[in-house]
Each structure stands twice: as C-alpha cells, then as structure tokens.
Structure 1
C-alpha cells in the first residue's frame, strides 16, 4: 500500500511541476506582450516629439514664425510627459509582476521537489525499518502536505485572476478608453494627441497646396509636390495615392538642388533657377522636418487610435488566454491530487508504524524474563528430588 501511494505521489509531483512550468512560461509571455506594447507606445511618442523638436530647431534657424515654433514646443513637451508616465508605469508593473511570478514559481518548484524527495526517502526508510528517521519523515511529509493545500489555494486564486485579466482584455477591445488596464496603457490620455495629429495633417495639406500653387504661378507646371493627405475634413494619410510625376516631400531637397540655386552662390549655379538663399534654406528645412514627421505619423496614428494596443491584446486573447487558464487549472487540480495522495500516504505510514509498535510491545510483555525462567527450572528440579527420596 505504501509503495502504491508513493508511486501516486511521484506521478502527482511530476504533473504539478510540468503544469507549473507551462503556466509560468505562458504568463510571462502575456505580461511581456502587455509591457512591451506600453514600451513601444512610449517609444513611438518619443520618436514623434523628437521629429517635432528637429522641425522646431530647423524652423528657428531659418526664422520660422513664432506660432509654429511655439506650437511644436508645447506639444512636444506635453507628449514627452505622457511618454515618460507610460514608461514609468510599464517599468513599475513589469518589475512587480515579474517578481511575483518568479517567487511563486520558485517556491512551488522547490516545495514540490522536496515533497517528492521526502516521499521517496520515506519509502526507503520504511522498508529499512529505521524507526526514528521514519517518524521524522512522517512529520516532514505532513508539513509538505499542508504546503500543498496552501499552494492549491494560491493557484486557484491565480486561475480567477487569469480569467479576470482576459475579461479585462475583452473589455478593452470594446472600450479602450475606460477600463481596468488604463493604468498601464492609458488610451484615454493618448486620445488627447489626436488633435495634434489633426493639426499636423491639416497644416501639411494646406502647406503643400500653397507651395504647389506658388510653383504653378511663378514657374508653371515645372514640378508638383505630392500631398500625402486626403481632402478635408478627414485628412487621411495616403502617401501612395500620389501620381508618378509628383515629387515626394522627402525628395524635395534633392530636386531643389537640381532645379535651383541659392543666390548666395552667385555665378556658380549652372543652368538652375536662382532664388533667394533664405527661401532656398527655408524650403529645405521645412521639407526635411515635415518628412521626418511623416515617417513617424503612421505609428503615431495607430497609437492614438489604440490600434497598436488592440492588436497586441487580440494576440493575447486568441493565442494565450485559453492555454494560460488551462495550465493554471492543471496546476491546482494536480495539487489537490497530490495533497490527497500525501494525506493517504502519511496515514498509511502512521498506521503501519503504530501497528508495528503494538506488536513490539505485545511481544515484550509475553516473553518471560530470565529470573522467571530460572525460578521455574529450580522449582522443577526440587520437586523431582523430593519425589526421589525414600518414604
């Protein structure tokens, strides 16, 4: 019977260790996706504010108007604060969750491993009938059994927590601007940046149209700039809808050097249109800065719409939530099985030890002492001698 329950305990320990490793791996993957998405959000914002700061510096060099530079300064500062807050929250939550998962995993693994070792050693000591070590190991196994019941409670709670987390992710899909995950990924705060994107897209659209009109008026249809945004009121970013003959904003500096020269170069301009140096430098500064801003525009747009976050959470819901709940369910069910088996194993050994002690005590009480045996033999001899005397 003891061998049977020991084999069951070994099996149960293996189930707990295997399921716990899978649960820990899946939970860490989910947390990494959530926190990495928050880090990506702050990184995207920093890229946007970096482009704004570069644009602001270029405009100041060429004497850009005060309203534009002030708008870029205040907007970049506000976005930097939001990015820093997201990064700080993500770092704090990652550290806390990682530490919690690591502690639970290590303590569970060590405890179950010691339980497995104790059950095996208990069998060996019981077979060898080493009474004192056997009693100590029985007490130790009973303590580990109590720990198994405690871990069952912990993992049962983790199952509910995992279910609540997946429910929160589903809620986020329906309403990303008001849910329990806003402390990590505050889409409601990022929504304030939508007006910034609208101002940028409207400003670029109007600027490109104005430049194209000035080019047509002054130089004819020598070249047209591609407008990457659609007509108002939507101003959708559509950089691929430009005609093949138009020039992209990022290519303006190269085209400009082919067609024109600043008047500061004097007679060194070979066949190009001579334009004022200030105007030449301004066009280069604007085009370079705007293209830098357009490079980060798609990611920023996805972030403001919370599309980046929504995609990450869809990945979790579709690929990780069900396995996570399945593995944590396997852990606590295996712990219940192990706890019941350990209780039975301890009871079997206690019963066996008690029975053996009773047999030993009974054998000691029945066995006669040497004094009694000697007295009995002496009495028998004396009786024989008396009988042999003549009457």
Structure 2
C-alpha cells in the first residue's frame, strides 16, 4: 500500500515537472471512478468546467441512490404481495411465538430512539450548515463590496484629476483623453461585481432557506412517523399501520435515502473546493483551471487602471513641483506682476516628493521634500495674506487660492498612490489568494463538518425508519396472532368445563385449514 501511494506521488511530481504550465488541483482527493469514462479513475482534479469531474463526484452518492431504488422496489413488491395474500387468500391466524412477539416490540422501540437521535443530528446539522454558509456568503460579499468600492474610489480620483489645475495648467491632453474611457470601464466593473455578488448571495440564500425548510419538515415528519408507527403498533391500530404509516414511510424512506446521496455529493464538492483553494494559494505561479474563471486573471482593467493612476499621480506631482520651483520659490521683478510676481517672499516652499520615476518605477524621496502625509500641513506656514488685488501683504510663498489648488492636486495624487497596492493585488491575484486563505481557514472546516452531520443524520433516520417499518408489520402480525390465540382459549366450552380444564392443567387446542380440531396436552 505504501509503495502504491509513493508511486502515485512520484507520478504527480513527474507530471508537474514535465508540464510546468499545468497544475492539477486536489488531484489526490478527486481520484474517483468515472461512470462516464467506463469507470476509469478520474485524474483531472478539481475542475467545475469538466463534466467528468461532476460525474465522478456524483458516483460517490450512487450507493444511496441504489439503496433507495432497491428499497422502493423490494418493499413495495413485498407490501403488495402481503396485501394480495391478506385480501385474496385469507386464513385464520393461529399460534404465536413469545420470542418473536417480544423482539418485534423491542426493536421498534430501539429504532424509534435511533430515529429521534438521527432527527436531532439532522436538525442541528442543518441549522449550523445554514449558519456557516450564510457567514461565508456574507464574507465573500463583503470582500466583493470592498473591491467594488475601492475601484469606484480610484475611478473617482481619476475623474477628479481631469479638472485639477495649478494656475490653469492641466494634465497633458492625451492623458486626460484616456481617462474618460478608463473611468467608465472601472465604474462598470465595480458595479457589475457588486450587483452580481449581491444577486448570487440572494439566490443562494433563497435556495438555502428552501433546503432548511425541507430538512426541518422532513425531520419533523420522520420523527412523527416513528412515534405514530410505534404507538399504533403497540395499541393494535392495524389499519392505520398498514394503510397510512407503512405506505407513507415506504415513500419517505426512499426519498430520504436520495437526500442522503445528495448531501454526500454536496459534502464531497465542498471538501474538494476547500482543498483546491488551499493548493491554489500554495502554488501562486502554477497554471490551473482557476485561471479561466477568476476575475484577477482578466487583469486588463486592473493593469490599465494601475498604469494610468501612476501616470496621473506622476504628472500631478510634476505640475505642483514645477510651479513651486519656477514660480513660488522665485523672486520675479515687481513690474512683471501676477501671476509671475504676486509679492511672494520668505523661506522657500519644500517640494512634494514624487514616488515614481519617469518610467513609473518606485523611487525614494530626496532630502528636504515633503510627502503626501504631511505636505498640506507643512505648506500652511508658507501661505500669505492677500489684498483685494490677490497679492501677498504678509511674508509667504503661496496665496490661499494657490494653496487650495496645491492641496487638491496632493489629495488626488495621494488617493491614486494609496490605491496602488490594491490594484497590484487585484492584478496578480494576491487579493483573491488572501480571500481564499481566509475562507479555507475560517469557514471550510465547519462547512465540511456540518454537511457531514446532515447526511449522517439522514442515514440514521432513513435506516431507523426503514427497519421500524419492517418490524411494525411483523409486530402487527404477531399481535394479531396473539389476540386470536387468547380469544380462542377463552371462547372454547362453557365455564365449568374451562374451570375443570384449568384445574387439571389441561386444555385442547388445534387449528386446521378447514375446521378446528382439539388435541390434549399439558400446560405445564
């Protein structure tokens, strides 16, 4: 066995080395027989776009479907045969076994207890499963909302950058021309992501509410069926047992076994998904089927937004620094007048640090420059008071209007720079990997546990009620035989004769198909 496992792992490693562009997610866990491929072992891993994956995982639920079919057919035929014999070939019941009678009474009681336990497991499991699934959906939606909101904020900063000016100097015309289309695409992507996620959550929650209601009703009906069946058998309500409870239980047991298969299928899909997410996070550079479905791989919008945000931020900072260096920090002759000379004086205004080089790569700040976080505060001390003509009347290098323009440019530049890491994470799937890691750590264990509780509870309930049905029929027959035997013992001869027979500890009883014959035997 160890050799086989080692051989499989060797093959998997060799396959990965030989084909470095493909990685099979959850390969070991998803090795199952595929009915659609002549029962060959499925080796494609977790791939929801592959039909063979779905057929192979569906095959794990086949035993329950088979049990449901066999039960429905065999018990139905047996029930029909019993009714046919009872109606068409009636005969007087005679004799009964105390052992069979006791067993047929004890086992339904035990199976009723088992049904109660199964219903408790089922009810608890479905409640916890619905709760953890709702929490998972809420987390996914919150992450999608964060992404959509961040994209909208980026597009808002890009739109604002078009109108930012420093003394009527704007961004380059070609750069402003590309922003409209990018803002529209970014807004559309964010709105679509948010709306689709909300719609999917609503649809899934509606489906979960239906599943919850169905499971609660099923648990209640099966519990009532077990109780009523046991009590009806004990109190001899044969007609109720045969014509109502047995037929209803026959159908419900078949349906419950089918549900067992469905939830086993769901349990396996959930477990496969969790394993696949974990392996995808651990192999960030490997190519997998998720590359075709995850939004981070469709990174054209994220990449374009990242590049444009860097360009806009770079040019805005250059506008600010060029004005500070060439206008505010220079002393022009008074005769030039505004906007060159507005009576600026005093210490030079520190330049704003540009975090990007001309090729948009990161660079360090030069000594004396101020950063985004303190630029507006640092520049307040360089603002002068102005006259009605707009010139400084106190020492300073910036008028309040110039300061306002500078602050707007800084705010837009800082906003775009602040969302740069988010755009990078969106582009290279870091954001998705962190989300998957959180889901796998916080939610997957409970999802796997509670789906297992549900199908285990269904199995217990199905088996308990199925066996109860059989013993209800047996007990009903044994009880009928017992009642008939007692009636016959009491109804034979007059009172004195029965008293004499009792005193002599003898009585006569016998049964034939056509008439009653008496044979003499000792009671003790």
TM-score computed with the length of structure 2 as normaliser: 0.60
Residue 17 of structure 1 aligns with which residue? 123
What does the per-residue CA deviation read over 1:302-352, in whole Å, with 9 as the maximum and x for residues that have no partner? 333332222111011123223322321232123222211111111011111
- Does the CA-based 8 Å contact 1:75-1:196 persist in structure 2? yes
Unaligned runs of 5+ in 2: 1-105, 331-346, 495-524
The alpha-carbon deviation at position 110 of structure 1 amounts to 1.3
Distance across 2 between alignment mates of 1:287 and 1:316: 38
Distance across 2 between alignment mates of 1:11 and 1:368: 47
Residue 522 of structure 2 aligns with which residue? none
Distance across 1 between alignment mates of 2:184 and 2:367: 38
- Does the CA-based 8 Å contact 1:205-1:227 persist in structure 2? no
What does the per-residue CA deviation read over 1:34-79, in whole Å, with 9 as the maximum and x for residues that have no partner? 2332222112111111222222234599462533332221211111
Matches within 5 A, 1:265-280: 265-266=389-390, 269-273=393-397
The alpha-carbon deviation at position 187 of structure 1 amounts to 1.0
- Does the CA-based 8 Å contact 2:278-2:440 persist in structure 1? yes
- Does the CA-based 8 Å contact 1:145-1:342 persist in structure 2? yes
The alpha-carbon deviation at position 265 of structure 1 amounts to 4.2
The answer to whether 1:189 aligns with 2:298 is yes
The answer to whether 1:27 aligns with 2:133 is yes
- SS of the aligned residue for 2:361 comes to coil
The structure-2 alpha-carbon separation of the partners of 1:338 and 1:38, relative to structure 1 and needing over 3 Å to count, comes to: same
- Does the CA-based 8 Å contact 2:126-2:212 persist in structure 1? yes
Residue 385 of structure 1 aligns with which residue? none
The answer to whether 1:143 aligns with 2:269 is no
- Does the CA-based 8 Å contact 1:35-1:90 persist in structure 2? yes
Distance across 1 between alignment mates of 2:358 and 2:149: 30
The answer to whether 1:229 aligns with 2:338 is no
Moved more, 223-232 or 153-162: 223-232
- SS of the aligned residue for 2:297 comes to helix
Matches within 5 A, 1:108-257: 108-135=215-242, 136-170=244-278, 172-173=280-281, 174=283, 179-180=289-290, 185-205=294-314, 207-208=316-317, 211-212=320-321, 215-216=324-325, 219=329, 222-227=348-353, 229-231=355-357, 235-236=361-362, 246-249=369-372, 252=375, 255-256=378-379
Residue 350 of structure 1 aligns with which residue? 473
The structure-2 alpha-carbon separation of the partners of 1:181 and 1:231, relative to structure 1 and needing over 3 Å to count, comes to: closer
The answer to whether 1:327 aligns with 2:327 is no
What does the per-residue CA deviation read over 1:110-130, in whole Å, with 9 as the maximum and x for residues that have no partner? 101221122123223333323
The answer to whether 1:96 aligns with 2:200 is no
Distance across 2 between alignment mates of 1:328 and 1:131: 38
Distance across 2 between alignment mates of 1:57 and 1:208: 15
Distance across 1 between alignment mates of 2:290 and 2:220: 37
- Does the CA-based 8 Å contact 1:52-1:76 persist in structure 2? yes
Residue 306 of structure 1 aligns with which residue? 429
Distance across 1 between alignment mates of 2:354 and 2:156: 21
The alpha-carbon deviation at position 224 of structure 1 amounts to 2.7
Distance across 1 between alignment mates of 2:414 and 2:288: 34
The answer to whether 1:6 aligns with 2:112 is yes
Distance across 2 between alignment mates of 1:118 and 1:280: 80
The answer to whether 1:53 aligns with 2:176 is no
